[in-house]
């Protein structure tokens, strides 16, 4: 993979890892397990910030399996490949869902840049699904605050966080679907013979011969 995709993959762990870290700290705070003031973060130095980024990266990596399980709540009943086959019935498509990794390797062999562009969808999906779960965990923290204080401001926060969590989860599903569709579309594009499918109209041919 290119360095650009590698950097993007790091941020796909750090950003959701930050949400997870914030949710864990908030859990500890609302349950009176730790005494923490979020205002202290504004005076955080460079070295502690780098340390927090490293912690966020580790947490984002460790929690990714849970993010993957969370994403299953947003999956469609019909597979991406089945929809793709219905949209392209003029093609005889014999590969199966489980073949996507082999097909992606085929794309990488033929064009590394195209493979990187396809993998960007996957990296975005990973980031968004983990952010979605992180937002849901923060919503649980606010729900605990609502129960403890009976302040409906926390109820509004719960509703907003769950709304954004749902929307982010849906977008993560779309990015995952686009990842698979991009693989399938690229494989078909490699089989195209444009001379057989893209031809000038006969009228244009005649116009050229008369000039």
Q: Helix count (H) and strand count (E) of the chain?
A: 9, 0
pLDDT class of 5 with cuts at 50, 70, 90: very low
pTM: 0.76
pLDDT class of 76 with cuts at 50, 70, 90: low
Neighbouring C-beta atoms of residue 37, cutoff 10 Å: 7
- The model's pLDDT over 16-73, given as tens digits with 9 standing for 90+, comes to 888 898 888 888 888 888 777 666 667 677 777 788 888 888 998 899 888 888 888 8
Phi/psi region, residue 32 (left: phi>0; alpha: psi -120 to 50; beta: rest), is: left
- The model's pLDDT over 124-181, given as tens digits with 9 standing for 90+, comes to 888 899 999 999 999 998 998 898 888 889 899 999 999 999 999 999 988 988 998 8
Residues 202 and 111: their CA atoms lie apart, in Å, by: 35
Sketch the domain layout of the chain as residue ranges.
Answer: 3-193
Report which DSSP code applies to 43. G
Q: Residues 174, 179, 185, 189: is their CA dihedral positive or negative?
A: positive
């Amino acid at each position: 993979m290119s360095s650009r995709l590698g950097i993007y993959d790091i941020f796909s762990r750090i950003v959701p890892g930050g949400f997870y870290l914030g949710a864990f700290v908030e859990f500890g705070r609302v349950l009176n397990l730790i005494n923490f003031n979020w205002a202290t973060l504004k005076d955080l130095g460079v070295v502690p910030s780098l340390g927090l980024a490293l912690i966020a990266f580790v947490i984002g990596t460790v929690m990714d399996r849970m993010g993957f399980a969370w994403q299953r709540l947003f999956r469609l009943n019909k597979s991406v490949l089945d929809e793709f086959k219905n949209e392209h019935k003029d093609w005889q498509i014999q590969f199966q869902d489980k073949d996507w990794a082999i097909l992606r390797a085929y794309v990488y062999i033929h064009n590394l840049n195209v493979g990187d562009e396809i993998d960007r969808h996957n990296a975005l999906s990973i980031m968004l699904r983990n952010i979605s779960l992180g937002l849901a965990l923060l919503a649980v923290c606010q729900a605990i605050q609502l129960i403890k204080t009976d302040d409906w401001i926390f109820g509004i926060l719960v509703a907003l966080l769950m709304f954004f969590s749902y929307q982010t989860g849906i977008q993560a599903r779309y990015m995952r679907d686009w990842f698979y569709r991009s693989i399938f579309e690229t494989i078909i594009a490699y089989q195209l013979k444009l001379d057989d499918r893209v031809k000038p109209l006969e009228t244009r041919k005649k116009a050229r011969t008369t000039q």
